[in-house]
Every structure is written in C-alpha cells, then in structure tokens.
Amino acid sequence: MGMISEFKEFIAKGNVVDLAVGVVIGAAFGKIVSALVDGIIMPFIGMLTGGESVSDWKHVLSPAVIENGKEIVAENAIKYGEFLQSIINFLLIAFVIFMFLKAYNRMRAPAAEEGPAEDTLLLREIRDSLKR
C-alpha cells in the first residue's frame, strides 16, 4: 500500500477530524475560561487582597534604575502572580473538561441489563452439576 493511500485511509477514518474539532473547540474554550479568570475571578481576588491585580504580584530581585526620567536598567522580578493566574486557568479548564467527560461517558454507557446475580448463577451451576 502506498504512502498516499495510507494517508487517505488515515484521514478518512474520522478520528483525525474529531481530533481537529476537539482542538479548535478546546482552544476557543480556553479563551473563554481565560476571560472568566482575567475579567471576573482575579479582580475579585485582587479586591480581597488589597486592590492590586493578581497578575501584578511579583517579588523584586533588583529594582529598575532610573536616571533623568529614563529607565537605564530594567527591573528584575519574579512574577508569581502571572504564574498563579495560569494555574487557576488550568484548574478551571481541567475541571470543566472533567465534568463534561463525566456527563458524556454517562450518556454513552449502555444501560446495564438486569439479570440474576453472579452468586445465583454459581449456585445454579452447582445444583445442575449435582443433578448429573
């Protein structure tokens, strides 16, 4: 089988299309969650912690050097607020995807057929073998 025909078969299976749709929807959903975190959650947390934006939280290692109103040496800082905001984004996205997959798997799961319990089946097998 040639490489081109193998590639056509690979594309035609549908899994690639499903994956592409998932990636596009995931990227769009990530933007929605980022907007939620940046626009609603973080301002609320900033208000609770003194009014400063969480993304502005940092630990300055060496301050900027300014002479005559011009920055000569840039500030050197550890920006842990941006990192914290990224962690919150990730956790929210992961939680929503978890909830979505949980609901999806619940809908996909076939209804369990009601039948006799396993111990009942074993007892029947024992009974039938004793009759012989």
Q: How confident is residue 78, by pLDDT bands cut at 50, 70 and 90?
A: very high
pTM for the whole thing? 0.55
CA distances from 98 to 15, 28, 94, 101, 102 (A): 21, 17, 6, 5, 6
Residue 128 lies in a domain: no
User: Cα–Cα distance between 102 and 56 in angstroms, integer?
Assistant: 36
Q: Is the residue at 125 inside a domain?
A: no
131 within some domain? no
Is residue 75 one of the residues assigned to a domain? yes
pLDDT of residue 112: 62
CATH number at residue 67: 1.10.1200.120
Tokens of residue 87, six digits: 């962690």
Number of domains within the chain: 1
Is 86 domain-assigned? yes
Higher pLDDT, residue 67 or 55: 67
The answer to whether residue 47 sits within a structural domain is yes
Domain range holding 38?
3-111
Inside any domain, residue 37: yes
First CA to last CA across the chain, in angstroms?
Answer: 57
Residue 50: inside a domain? yes
Burial of 37 (0-12, 13-18, 19+ CB in 10 A): buried
Structure confidence by residue, pLDDT tens digits, 95-125: 888 888 788 788 877 766 677 788 888 888 8
How does pLDDT run across 21-55, given as a tens digit for each residue?
A: 788 888 888 888 888 888 888 888 888 888 787 88
